[in-house]
């Protein structure tokens, strides 16, 4: 991790840079709708927790990659 003056000015591809947001962000109404859809999905709490745990457990501390931050989660 770079800090202060050590942060390079150029974008380094190997750091998986996050592109600038070019769309509207999800608002309170959309969040409420998504929560309702999840509740109505018929999935159990156990299934939801298992999916979240599996996504988060893929994080690697060595290169700070993986995990559920910004990841796509698919229920199978």
List, as one string, the DSSP characters of 17-42.
Answer: PPPPP-SPPP-HHHHHHHHHHHHTT-
**Is pLDDT of 8 > 80?**
yes
| Domain boundary assignment for the chain | 13-74
pLDDT tens string 9-54:
898 887 777 788 899 999 999 999 999 999 999 999 999 999 888 8
More confident: 63 or 8: 8
Residue with tokens 């309170």: 28
| pLDDT of 75 | 57
* pTM for this model (two decimals): 0.58
């Amino acid at each position: 991790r770079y800090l202060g003056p050590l942060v390079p000015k150029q974008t380094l591809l190997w750091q998986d840079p996050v592109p600038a947001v070019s769309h509207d962000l999800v608002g309170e109404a959309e969040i409420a709708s998504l929560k309702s859809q999840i509740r109505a999905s018929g999935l159990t709490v156990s299934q939801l927790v298992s999916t979240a745990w599996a996504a988060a457990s893929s994080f690697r501390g060595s290169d700070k990659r993986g995990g559920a931050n910004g990841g796509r989660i698919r229920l199978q």
